[in-house]
């Protein structure tokens, strides 16, 4: 199996390929083993102590992942309005939105309007999310842990993973 990440090409076999595939559509308990150590050494997985069924732990795990839309839009008919809004941000933002950014957008009650979508409008989106006190590295992630919008956003992202309309890298 060939995996591309950040411009690099990785060849995975056997247990490493199975472990990689197992984590694409869910936040899961990883266990231990040589395959996971290999994937972590390659920078292809993020191991973190915590329970995937705990919302805060799931949030912390998701902040270390790249959330990607699946190319096919199948399965999106049954999405709630909040899930549909998240998918609009994920599909059309013009950049890869992070878990913390999705929480911040929901906290702001920001809608995926055209003035924030697409490559030409990515600066407007960045200015919406980031202000002087949260622009430094990992400040937004830490701040959003306390947001009232975090639990619902995490639940919606986990549901989008289960529906296989997004996947994690």
Structure tokens given for 83: 């899930």
> Do 150 and 72 fall within a single domain?
yes
Distance between CA atoms of 100 and 63, rounded to whole angstroms? 6
- 82: domain range? 67-168
Q: Quick check: is 82 in a domain?
A: yes
Distance between CA atoms of 164 and 70, rounded to whole angstroms? 7
> Do 103 and 156 fall within a single domain?
yes
> Do 80 and 9 fall within a single domain?
no
CA angle, 78 then 65 then 7, to 5°: 110
> Do 91 and 121 fall within a single domain?
yes
What is the 8-class DSSP label of residue 113? Answer: -
Distance between CA atoms of 12 and 121, rounded to whole angstroms? 37
Q: Quick check: is 56 in a domain?
A: no
Distance between CA atoms of 33 and 93, rounded to whole angstroms? 37
- How many domains, in total, are found in the chain? 2
pLDDT of residue 31: 64
> Do 162 and 94 fall within a single domain?
yes
pLDDT of residue 80: 93
> Do 37 and 81 fall within a single domain?
no
pLDDT of residue 99: 96
Say what the pTM is.
Answer: 0.82
Q: Quick check: is 161 in a domain?
A: yes
> Do 96 and 139 fall within a single domain?
yes
68 by DSSP, 3-state: which? strand
pLDDT of residue 85: 96
Q: Quick check: is 29 in a domain?
A: yes
Q: Quick check: is 61 in a domain?
A: no
Chunked in runs of 10, what are the mean pLDDT values of the chain (169 residues)?
82 84 71 78 74 85 88 75 95 93 97 96 93 78 96 96 88
Q: Quick check: is 96 in a domain?
A: yes
């Amino acid at each position: 199996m060939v995996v591309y990440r950040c411009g690099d090409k990785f060849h995975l076999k056997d247990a490493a390929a199975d472990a990689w595939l197992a984590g694409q559509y869910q936040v899961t308990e990883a266990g231990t083993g040589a395959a996971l150590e290999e994937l972590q050494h390659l920078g292809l997985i993020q191991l973190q102590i915590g329970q995937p069924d705990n919302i805060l732990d799931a949030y912390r795990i998701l902040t270390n992942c790249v959330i990607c839309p699946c190319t096919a839009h199948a399965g999106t008919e049954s999405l709630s309005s909040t899930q549909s809004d998240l998918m609009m941000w994920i599909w059309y933002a013009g950049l890869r939105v992070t878990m913390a950014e999705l929480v911040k957008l929901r906290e702001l009650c920001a809608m995926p309007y055209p003035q924030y979508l697409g490559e030409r409008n990515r600066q407007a989106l960045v200015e919406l999310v980031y202000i002087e006190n949260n622009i430094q590295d990992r400040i937004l992630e830490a701040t959003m842990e306390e947001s009232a919008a975090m639990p619902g956003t995490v639940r919606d992202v986990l549901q989008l993973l289960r529906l296989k309309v997004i996947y994690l890298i």
